């Protein structure tokens, strides 16, 4: 087997930056300038979780080996799970490939103390077929843990080149509800499922806990090629209590103004929050409860003036999308998130915040016709 790491990096799709380091090449989904401005360890980590990031190549190799430094964050008392990779050959989704070789970072939820248990890079092997003929190969990296590429290898005589795009580019930004760590496999996140069925090339900028209308993320979307853009907004702002109504409204307009600077005519679809019972009518912040479900903190009513609930966020997004449409932006659209996952779906909301794998599959089934169907705004 021969190393093709440099060539493999040319085949990476869905990452904003490829940053080499001592532990391997990080495939970041957040821009370096913004990460430097924020200087936040959690944000830096979540940027290296490659949800939606994949290698897309044309190769006559019969197999591919991938070395990766994988890191999973585990709450103390919880059991780690295997890292999952997906393989698609000539459009056919194969069985997932898993590994338990990963660094574990245990987090004490009471104190947020970290206990890191390092592990060497994992070697993940993908069999492509016995005949050395050219195939279109996609390797979807783990959607739920930090992954750095250390090496990629193919048989000595095999050829490898980047594959053409799988379709028009769809850029999506959102929260953990879009990163979908709870999905059972990388192609099982709802954005990945929709992109594969709609024939779109996905750039998934869903960052767990980190969707706060950040100006640097708007600039990143502005500068990306995009045939369609969607924005799942609101839940992190309420859960973190990071804005009140007075700041949320201009931040929303400023974010869209920046995106429109680079994409004046691209269809943009705003997705308001899916259901989260704890903050439907109560403001954040939220914390995990002893029952495993998120809960809100009590505070005096006078301190809650102008604070945001999910109900109010949906009202504001609907109102201000409509204001922009009346002002002439007819390619801006809105989907009420509760039509994708609402109160009737709460049985598939184990922690009261994140859907499970079945919930994400249902979101994909509902989003696909609404966004990319015959009358869909992103079609």
Q: Where in the chain is the domain with CATH 3.40.50.1110?
A: 169-372
Low-confidence ranges of the chain (pLDDT < 50): none
Nearest-CA neighbor of 154 among 167, 140, 165, 139? 139
Interatomic CA distance for residues 22 and 355, integer angstroms: 35
pLDDT of residue 303: 80
pLDDT of residue 271: 98
Q: Is the peptide bond before 340 cis (omega within 30 degrees of 0)?
A: no
Residues 6+ apart with CB under 8 A from 167: 195, 198, 199, 200, 201
Q: Indicate the class that CATH gives domain 169-372.
A: alpha beta
Residue 50 burial by Cβ neighbours in a 10 Å radius (0-12, 13-18, 19+): buried
Q: Where in the chain is the domain with CATH 2.60.120.260?
A: 2-162
Check residue 220 and report its DSSP letter: H
Residues 6+ apart with CB under 8 A from 109: 75, 76, 288
Give whole-number Cα distances, 160 to 6, 18, 135, 152, in Å. 11, 19, 10, 11
Residue 95 burial by Cβ neighbours in a 10 Å radius (0-12, 13-18, 19+): exposed
Rounded to the nearest angstrom, the gap between the alpha carbon of residue 184 and the centroid of all alpha carbons in its chain is 14
Residues 6+ apart with CB under 8 A from 315: none
Residues 6+ apart with CB under 8 A from 240: 209, 212, 284, 285
Mean pLDDT taken over the chain = 96
Token readout for 193 is 């499922």
Cα 210–Cα 212–Cα 35 angle in degrees, nearest 5? 55
Antiparallel, parallel or unpaired: β 103-107 and 63-75:
parallel
Q: Are 212 and 250 in contact (CB under 8 A)?
A: no
Interatomic CA distance for residues 287 and 80, integer angstroms: 21
Token readout for 195 is 């992109």
Count, residues in the chain: 379
Interatomic CA distance for residues 22 and 129, integer angstroms: 33
Nearest-CA neighbor of 146 among 73, 52, 210? 73
Interatomic CA distance for residues 52 and 191, integer angstroms: 8
**Pick among 3.40.50.620, 2.40.290.10, 2.60.120.260, 1.20.1740.10: CATH of 2-162:** 2.60.120.260
């Amino acid at each position: 087997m021969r190393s093709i790491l440099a060539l493999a990096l040319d085949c990476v799709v869905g990452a904003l930056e490829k940053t080499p380091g001592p532990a391997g090449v990080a495939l970041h989904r957040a821009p370096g300038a913004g990460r430097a401005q924020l200087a936040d360890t959690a944000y830096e980590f979540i940027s290296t979780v490659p949800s939606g990031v994949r290698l897309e190549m044309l190769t006559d190799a019969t197999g591919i080996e991938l070395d990766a430094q994988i890191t999973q964050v585990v709450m103390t008392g919880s059991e780690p799970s295997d890292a999952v990779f997906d393989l698609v050959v000539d459009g056919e989704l194969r069985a997932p490939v898993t590994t338990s070789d990963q660094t574990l970072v245990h987090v004490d939820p009471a104190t947020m103390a970290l206990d890191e248990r390092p592990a060497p890079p994992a070697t993940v092997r993908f069999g492509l077929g016995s005949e050395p003929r050219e195939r279109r190969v996609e390797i979807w990296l783990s959607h739920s843990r930090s992954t750095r590429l250390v090496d990629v290898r193919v048989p000595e005589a095999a050829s490898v080149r980047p594959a053409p795009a799988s379709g028009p580019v769809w850029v999506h930004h959102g929260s953990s509800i879009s990163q979908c760590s709870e999905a059972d496999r990388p192609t099982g996140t709802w954005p990945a499922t929709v992109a594969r069925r709609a024939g779109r090339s996905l750039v998934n900028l869903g960052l767990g806990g980190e969707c706060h209308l950040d100006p640097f993320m708007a600039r990143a979307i502005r500068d990306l090629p995009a045939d369609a853009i969607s924005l799942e907004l609101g839940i992190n702002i309420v859960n973190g209590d990071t804005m009140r109504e007075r700041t949320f409204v201009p931040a929303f307009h400023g974010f869209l103004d920046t995106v429109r600077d680079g994409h004046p005519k691209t269809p943009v679809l705003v997705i308001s929050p899916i259901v989260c019972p704890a903050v439907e009518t109560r403001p954040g912040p939220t914390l995990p409860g002893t029952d495993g479900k998120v809960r809100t903190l009590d505070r005096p009513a006078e301190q809650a003036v102008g604070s945001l609930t999910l109900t109010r966020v949906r009202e504001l997004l609907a109102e201000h999308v409509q204001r922009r449409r009346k002002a002439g932006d007819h390619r801006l659209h809105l989907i009420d998130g509760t039509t994708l996952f609402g109160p009737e779906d709460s049985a598939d909301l184990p922690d009261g915040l994140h859907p499970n794998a079945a919930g994400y599959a249902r979101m994909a089934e509902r989003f696909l016709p609404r966004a990319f169907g015959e009358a869909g705004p992103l079609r």
